Structure 1
Amino acid sequence: MRAQLERERGEWRELEREFRELQETHKVYRQKLEEVTSLQTACSSSIQRQKKTLRDLKHCLQRPRATPEEFALIEQISAQIKERQNAFFDMEAYLPKKNGLYLNLVLGNVNVTLLSNQAKFAYKDEYEKFKLYLTIILLLGAVTCRFILHYRVTDEVFNFLLVWYYCTLTIRESILISNGSRIKGWWVSHHYVSTFLSGVMLTWPDGLMYQMFRSQFLAFSIFQSCVQFLQYYYQRGCLYRLRALGERNHLDLTVEGFQSWMWRGLTFLLPFLFCGHFWQLYNAITLFGLSRHKECKEWQVCVLAFTFLLLFLGNFLTTLKVVHTKLQKNKDKMKKL
């Protein structure tokens, strides 16, 4: 009994020693955290001052008349300003920043900046896995609703899953953008429009108009999920190669659509992309036709028609623009050779 008591007393002394070490470590941690916060504030202030000075300098360099020597100097300074702006972008990826309007509405004024590369990459990879897994689930859900379960309640579950999926993507992408991801343009707006479309589909009451469009929409969802699945693996391969060569940022995403850096081996994928775009146009035309039906009383029909038309125009024109730009660059390279 006495030996056991001595052993327990020894364990308690060891526990006390570890607790004192923990207190000291935590004290040092808080001091370092305050130092980091102070350095973050200093860096942010300095970057803002530099940006303002560069804007003023850039404005002064816009001279309508300049000698050849002055023009060469202006070109050199302009190139250096552009490099400095890229450096600021990389620096700000590791500094806290104010959230955009969307993140403020969803999360409030919460700091979503990830301070280490490891945390950024882990969050980005988790985002990619989430998108892949949900694409597979949505594919199975669309197949089930189209061929097995012909019930309104299962359609509602599927549409609700679409709304949740696109809402989650918009939030996660906004966080990635705050941490240095360069996704921009239509590919950002695309998910917001898709969220709205899925929400309207969710509110569309069962009836003749809904049943007339149901099969076409589910077939489109199946095709879209298959294309997104192909895109994910194709784009992941492109991104992996370019990262290995140091030509792409490690926070670049395998976003929907077609990016300017995806070109080699794209022959098999472009027809599927354009087919999906024109299917969106076909959906819009079908819905516009249904809106003129004498039995049509739902506002969702017209709204969905315009939304599908917007998706078609955004996807088609953006893809066409990127293809044209890439072809033009290839022509210029051939001329130089």
Structure 2
Amino acid sequence: MERVKESESESEPASSSSSSAATGKLEEEVGRVMDQARELHESGASLLWKISNEEQSLRQKAISLESSIRRVRSSINSLISKKLLDPKFARKLEEDLQRASSILTDGEAAAFLPAEAQGRFLRMFLGPINVRASRKEVQLKVKEEYNSYRDRTAFLFLLFPLTLLILKSWIWEGCLPAFPVQLYEAWLLFLYTGLAMRENILRANGSDIRPWWIYHHYCAMLMALVSLTWEIKRQPNCAQKQRGVELFLQWAMMQGVAMLLQNRYQRQRLYTRIALGKANRMDVVWGETSGVDGQLWVLCPILFAMQLL
């Protein structure tokens, strides 16, 4: 028993010394981590300060260059109006100015130009946050996502009402239930809200979307909201009571076809204008009527028939 107690008393100092050594080592490790964190914080703050100063300098240069382009263009127009400048030479100067403007507004320097006002629509949904991307590849990614969204929704715009009309004849015995129609109207509200949101974000990132293109989606949102209040009447005299809903679904199918053709037409026109230096890569909608043979002969009759319906 005495030998056991002696061995226990000898092991206690050994375990105590190993515990204090481990504690000291852990304390040193924590101190090293703290030093690294402070060093990283200071390096990051220094880098952000340098970037901020460089961005401010580039922003001032971009604003100055944009002002110079406007001033030179105004001078050219003034000399032309006074007949003091040869028109051919003025056209050459204007083309050079257009190329310089495209380099400024369509290149990496575009991020340093003043952002477009975001408008009430974005502030209403997102609050006072900045939706302008600082890198060009991010801006172009937003544009690609918008084009993809338009293509997907154009197919759904065609398939959704077509499915409802087929089920009406085959399964629902000529009478549309209320829920599927209201589900379609809710989807329309979501669709037009999403389009308006994306277009406002694109406009804030430098896309030259005409205001009327966005406003007509506001009107479509209101239309979808009102159509949600429709009372879908069933039997008796179901066919007569639902005639307006049936006509609307037929019109929506025509709208889906028109959207598919319109997306293709506008994209081809936009590619041509970008190649000619008359549009920026961030632009997504253009309605110029020349340069795409044959497509307008299909698109225009459908558009006029929809308006007539």
Q: Which residue of 2 aligns with 1:202?
A: 228
User: Which of residues 134, 137, 149 is equivalent to 2:153?
Assistant: 134
The two structures, once aligned, show a CA RMSD in angstroms of: 4.3
Q: Which residue of 2 aligns with 1:278?
A: 304
Whether contact under 8 Å (1:93, 1:113) holds in the other structure is no
Q: Which residue of 1 aligns with 2:10?
A: none
Map Cα deviations across residues 183-225 of structure 1 (whole Å, 9 max, x no partner).
4376455434433433443345556997222112112223322
User: Which of residues 198, 216, 220 is equivalent to 2:247?
Assistant: 216
Judging changes above 3 Å, is the alpha-carbon distance between structure 1 residues 229 and 77 closer, same or farther for their aligned structure 2 residues? closer
Higher RCO, Cα 8 Å, sep 6+: 2
Map Cα deviations across residues 272-292 of structure 1 (whole Å, 9 max, x no partner).
523431332232xxxxxxxxx
Instruction: Tell me whether 1:162 sits opposite 2:188 in the alignment.
Output: yes
Q: What SS does the corresponding residue of 1:61 show, helix, strand or coil?
A: helix
User: Which of residues 38, 56, 63 is equivalent to 1:38?
Assistant: 56
User: Which of residues 225, 242, 251 is equivalent to 2:256?
Assistant: 225
User: Which of residues 119, 122, 133 is equivalent to 1:114?
Assistant: 133
Instruction: Tell me whether 1:153 sits opposite 2:179 in the alignment.
Output: yes
Structure 2 CA distance for aligned equivalents of residues 201 and 20 of structure 1: 60
| Higher deviation after alignment, 222-231 or 164-173 | 222-231
Whether contact under 8 Å (2:115, 2:206) holds in the other structure is no
Structure 2 CA distance for aligned equivalents of residues 200 and 189 of structure 1: 17
TM-score normalised by the chain length of structure 1 = 0.61
> Structure 2 counterpart of 1:212, which letter?
R
Whether contact under 8 Å (1:159, 1:199) holds in the other structure is yes
Q: What SS does the corresponding residue of 1:93 show, helix, strand or coil?
A: helix
Judging changes above 3 Å, is the alpha-carbon distance between structure 1 residues 205 and 33 closer, same or farther for their aligned structure 2 residues? farther
Q: Which residue of 1 aligns with 2:106?
A: 90
Q: Which residue of 2 aligns with 1:178?
A: 204
Judging changes above 3 Å, is the alpha-carbon distance between structure 1 residues 249 and 85 closer, same or farther for their aligned structure 2 residues? closer
TM-score normalised by the chain length of structure 2 = 0.66
Structure 2 CA distance for aligned equivalents of residues 259 and 62 of structure 1: 27
Q: Which residue of 2 aligns with 1:22?
A: 40
> Structure 2 counterpart of 1:35, which letter?
N
Judging changes above 3 Å, is the alpha-carbon distance between structure 1 residues 178 and 6 closer, same or farther for their aligned structure 2 residues? same
Structure 1 CA distance for aligned equivalents of residues 73 and 272 of structure 2: 32
Alignment of 1:218-257 (within 5 A): 218-229=249-260, 232=263, 238=268, 249-253=280-284, 255=285
Whether contact under 8 Å (1:204, 1:210) holds in the other structure is no
Q: Please state how far the C-alpha of 1:74 moved relative to its aligned partner.
A: 4.7
Q: Please state how far the C-alpha of 1:172 moved relative to its aligned partner.
A: 1.1
Q: Please state how far the C-alpha of 1:140 moved relative to its aligned partner.
A: 4.2
Structure 2 CA distance for aligned equivalents of residues 176 and 119 of structure 1: 11
Q: What residue ranges of structure 1 are gaps of 5+ in the alignment?
A: 284-337
Judging changes above 3 Å, is the alpha-carbon distance between structure 1 residues 235 and 65 closer, same or farther for their aligned structure 2 residues? closer
> Structure 1 counterpart of 2:75, which letter?
L
Q: Please state how far the C-alpha of 1:116 moved relative to its aligned partner.
A: 0.9
User: Which of residues 217, 223, 231 is equivalent to 1:191?
Assistant: 217
Identity %: 22
> Structure 1 counterpart of 2:52, which letter?
E
Judging changes above 3 Å, is the alpha-carbon distance between structure 1 residues 104 and 281 closer, same or farther for their aligned structure 2 residues? closer
Whether contact under 8 Å (1:40, 1:96) holds in the other structure is no
Judging changes above 3 Å, is the alpha-carbon distance between structure 1 residues 62 and 259 closer, same or farther for their aligned structure 2 residues? closer
- The total of aligned residue pairs comes to 275
Map Cα deviations across residues 5-28 of structure 1 (whole Å, 9 max, x no partner).
788667646644552343134213
Q: Which residue of 1 aligns with 2:14?
A: none
Q: What residue ranges of structure 2 are gaps of 5+ in the alignment?
A: 1-17, 169-175
Structure 2 CA distance for aligned equivalents of residues 203 and 169 of structure 1: 22
Q: Please state how far the C-alpha of 1:125 moved relative to its aligned partner.
A: 2.2
Judging changes above 3 Å, is the alpha-carbon distance between structure 1 residues 124 and 227 closer, same or farther for their aligned structure 2 residues? same
Q: What SS does the corresponding residue of 1:279 show, helix, strand or coil?
A: helix
Q: What SS does the corresponding residue of 1:220 show, helix, strand or coil?
A: helix
